[in-house]
Amino acid sequence: MRAAIRADVRRRARAARRGTSPKPVPSLPNSPSTAYTTPTHPVPGPNPTELTQTTLARAKQYILPVYARPDFVVVKGAGCRVWDADGREFLDFTAGIAVNALGHADAGVAEVLRQQASTLLHASNAVYNAPAAALAEKLVTLTQVAGGLGYVPSAHPTTAPGAKVFFANSGTEANEGALKIARMAGKVRGGQHGKKHAIVCFAHSFHGRSLGALSVTQNAKYQTPFEPLIPGVRVGKLNEHSGLDTLIDEDVCGVILEPIQGEGGVNAAEAGWIREVARRAREVGAVLIYDEIQCGLYRSGTLWAHSTWPADCQPDVVTMAKPLANGYPIGAVLVRDAVAEVMTAGSHGTTFGGSPLACAVGLHVLGRLSDPHFLGHAAETGAYLLARLERLAGWFPGVVEPRIRGRGLILGLVLPKAGHPARLVELARERGLLLLTAGSDCVRLVPSLNVSVAEVGRAVDVIESCLGVMSSEPA
């Protein structure tokens, strides 16, 4: 299966390059690297600068302590690298939690920010602005060509738009808007008795921290302190077929899921299961929502993680955010016309969403991410990263599981022993590589989409060295 995926990735890369010669990819090593067994970036650092000390002291005194963060201060970035206040360079394979698709301090993004901020920064949604209209059109027409939201991949967009966009400020807000659209559709489709209001989500999902989005985020650590949450939420299990007809019944107005769960462990939904979920949702008139905030916008190798799925596996609504403006806050909801028509003036709103600045940056970023040459490069580096990671289980049996989760440049390395994912993240950070955990058993690799093959090689060398250290530690 993995060989077929890699072959498909390489095929897509060649097609995306439209005849250009592919760059040479390094051969795979025959043994794991031991070049980074000794820590080079201890945290906290041995000789912290005054800036480091002052910043940490201020943050701990004045910032609400809702994050557990290591004691170092990032001050600048460039591409896939960041530097701390002590002058140490780190290779960033977190991309701001899958946000910086074009890397840090991108010159093109900076120029668009400068130009738009000096022209029109904010205007409110009491008036139209040109960047928002242009970005909405780009999202719809790209989807019509690349596939998704019921469209099959095509060389040209259809003549009718067929979808509408609502702009927000974050992924949480995008999901909040999608849930409200589902509730509104339930009112219209289920009459005025209020019965059609239930929402179905799935275990290990993550949809955000607002009260509505949190209610469909199945993690007790996040939910329990804020209960009771919104009523009418039902929880299924990803890729479990039994019980779907009971779970999704006539009272359900919306079904929300991630095609590839990010925070929950880089767990991918299977197309056969998705087909059954979509079939049942349409039978009962429920709005089907795909949260592609982390896996969408080319991170999985295509515009949407569901772009190449058959039409009967595709959603009514797609939510997005993270990479859309490369770090400038923006979120969006993409809705089929047949569902969008239930929303009228005043039924939803936002003060800052769809600002000229956010949308101008989003239009620039989306134009670059969708370039065939850019996609060819991302496909090659993704295939090389996957091939390197697949060797780890043979070298570190009992520490790493053979199956690598995810696809494209959202990949999960599974370490089943309790505490091992966090330990790998810690050891890698001490050697100048930033990684993320995901779920209880996974380390997540989500570098910028323009990461180089050399940077992938260095990152995996660090991971191999760290796994060697872990293998020698007492059980």
- Enumerate residue ranges in the chain where pLDDT < 50: 1-2, 4-10, 12-22
CB-CB contact of 73 with 298 (8 Å): no
Residue 267 φ/ψ, nearest 5 degrees = -95, 125
Can you tell me the distance from the alpha carbon of 312 to that of 257, in angstroms, rounded to the nearest whole number? 16
Q: Is the dihedral of CA 344, 346, 347, 353 positive or negative?
A: positive
Can you tell me the distance from the alpha carbon of 239 to that of 436, in angstroms, rounded to the nearest whole number? 24
3-state secondary structure 420-436: HHHHHHHHHHCCCEECE
The distance from CA 423 to its chain's CA centroid, rounded to whole angstroms, is 23
Beta strands in 258-362 (DSSP E): 260-261, 267-268, 287-291, 317-320, 331-336
Domain ranges of the chain: 1-55+375-408+418-429+454-475, 115-369
Q: Three-state SS for 216? A: coil
Token look-up 């290591």 returns 70
Q: Which of 123, 18, 17 is nearest to 354 (CA)?
A: 123
| Residue-level pLDDT at 9 | 41
Q: Which amino acid is at 29?
A: P
| Residue-level pLDDT at 5 | 40
Does the domain at 115-369 match CATH 3.30.300.30? Answer given as: no
Q: Three-state SS for 300? A: coil
| Residue-level pLDDT at 193 | 59
Q: Which two tokens stand for residue 157?
A: 């967009």
Residue 185 φ/ψ, nearest 5 degrees = -60, -35
Q: Three-state SS for 267? A: strand
Q: Which two tokens stand for residue 231?
A: 């009523």
- Planar angle of CA 306, 310, 311, nearest 5 degrees: 90
Q: Which two tokens stand for residue 327?
A: 């770090």
CB-CB contact of 302 with 309 (8 Å): no
The distance from CA 178 to its chain's CA centroid, rounded to whole angstroms, is 17
CB neighbours of residue 274 within 10 Å: 23
3-state secondary structure 148-190: ECCECCCCCCCCCCCEEEEEECCHHHHHHHHHHHHHHHHHHHC
Pairing outcome for strands 252-257 and 198-202? parallel
